[in-house]
Structure 1
């Protein structure tokens, strides 16, 4: 039975909730394993067309649980092996999922929790949310994708500042500098999150998956390679039922009814 992760599915939306509120949803070994399983399960579920990732209680995720002693190999602990084995697969599962992943940041997102939020395709934040690149506070370098996502979202200069100082970024500033997409009052946070998630779930899911692949390719490749990759992605998109539906809806001057196929 899952204990540290909760999953609900409704109207094409899967909500994955980090569920260790007593420690602000800090990662231990069990939660890392259960979250990876949850991400892989919803990726395979054809009925899920949007994934929401959030935290229980007051926090989104406060990063690694520094007090965790559940790892049987704690005496021979390697931080590098932990990042490779526990965190990197989570980030890849989000990025490679060919469905939109909406990070619903309800409170503090710090350290690996901040990285987890940045790996999501979109971020909606409560006015109580905070982002902290907390690695430097304990004498560590960024991991779990922060050194990849942070400069792409806010630029190298701002990313350097946030990573070196470890200062807190408010929800308002997060939207201003590009760390987050939408800011809503905490009282309406879940209502607004689900409304956006349902809207995303009604979209052309296959096309959204191809968009994710194309943008990640475009972020790092040369123009010639990107142009060819775009042609390849467009070939795949043009064979989907949703493309045919989109063209029909345009011609008939109606709203498209995408099926995610």
Structure 2
């Protein structure tokens, strides 16, 4: 579905007391981050910065999954080819993650099911992640000739595990994600909303000005370590990577066009099946 044809309500915003709940509402597409979703989410996050009713922002996906990441089918349909074309498109994606990262209001990702690729980056951009025990995290895009767009994982997990995950495309369950420090805590699926709400309400007891200034201080600390520079440098490299040609990538794109995304993903993952 093209961005023009997609419904405008792919992201909903509900304010409960002092907490804004932003929901990616494309359950039939496993909440894939289309260009319309990216634009809508970015707009909501930016608008909420000046809404003094809101102290905490929650991001979640409709249905049984957070999101499978950026909409690959849309990217294939648009037919981006040159690095400069990719740079423009990827800049919007990075812009969303960094808008969440730089939010002066605390952000919580409520994650159930799949949390992959650009959606994993989006969750990592949040200040905290509460996940269900059936959630899965990872960035499998390397398996079809792409790579991480918003390079946050080194700052969250450290060098060794980041190298393993980003060079294999493996996914990890919520329990391991919690052990590694990617997730704050795991809960049963039926307890996710209540757990997130309890955490958000606890944070919201703090004065708004205190939350804002503390968030600014923490954000600047990580950026002093080079986080934003790393993200910007990676954006330039990601544009070149996405435009680069490889036989595996050509086969994947052909299968998306001729057989559909599901069969293309099955082909992609079958190449790694014997090694997992």
Instruction: Give the TM-score band, short-chain normalised.
Output: 0.7 to 0.9
Corresponding residue SS for 2:13: strand
Aligned to 1:136: 142
Q: Does 1:104 align with 2:110?
A: yes
Alpha-carbon distance between aligned partners in 2 of 1:48 and 1:189, rounded to the nearest angstrom:
20
**Alignment equivalent of 1:218, drawn from 214, 217, 221:** 221
**Alignment equivalent of 1:156, drawn from 145, 155, 159:** 159
Alpha-carbon distance between aligned partners in 2 of 1:2 and 1:59, rounded to the nearest angstrom:
20
**Alignment equivalent of 1:95, drawn from 84, 101, 106:** 101
Aligned to 2:253: none
Residue 102 of structure 2 contacts residue 219 of structure 2 at CA under 8 Å; is this kept in 1? no
Aligned to 1:35: 41
**Alignment equivalent of 1:209, drawn from 205, 212, 215:** 212
Residue 104 of structure 1 contacts residue 193 of structure 1 at CA under 8 Å; is this kept in 2? yes
**Runs of 5+ in structure 1 lacking a partner?**
223-261
Corresponding residue SS for 1:59: coil
> CA RMSD of the aligned region, Å?
1.9
Deviation at 1:32, TM superposition (A): 1.2
Alpha-carbon distance between aligned partners in 1 of 2:76 and 2:43, rounded to the nearest angstrom:
19
Aligned to 2:187: 184
**Alignment equivalent of 1:193, drawn from 177, 191, 196:** 196
Alpha-carbon distance between aligned partners in 1 of 2:119 and 2:86, rounded to the nearest angstrom:
16
**Alignment equivalent of 2:87, drawn from 72, 77, 80:** 80
Higher relative contact order (CA 8 A, sep 6+): 2
Aligned to 1:232: none
Deviation at 1:74, TM superposition (A): 4.1
Aligned to 1:248: none
Deviation at 1:69, TM superposition (A): 6.5
**Alignment equivalent of 2:28, drawn from 22, 29, 52:** 22
Aligned to 2:270: none
Alpha-carbon distance between aligned partners in 2 of 1:11 and 1:75, rounded to the nearest angstrom:
43
Alpha-carbon distance between aligned partners in 1 of 2:171 and 2:118, rounded to the nearest angstrom:
14
TM-score of the two chains, using structure 1 as the length reference: 0.78
TM-score of the two chains, using structure 2 as the length reference: 0.74
**Runs of 5+ in structure 2 lacking a partner?**
1-6, 226-276
Deviation at 1:187, TM superposition (A): 1.7
Residue 50 of structure 1 contacts residue 201 of structure 1 at CA under 8 Å; is this kept in 2? yes
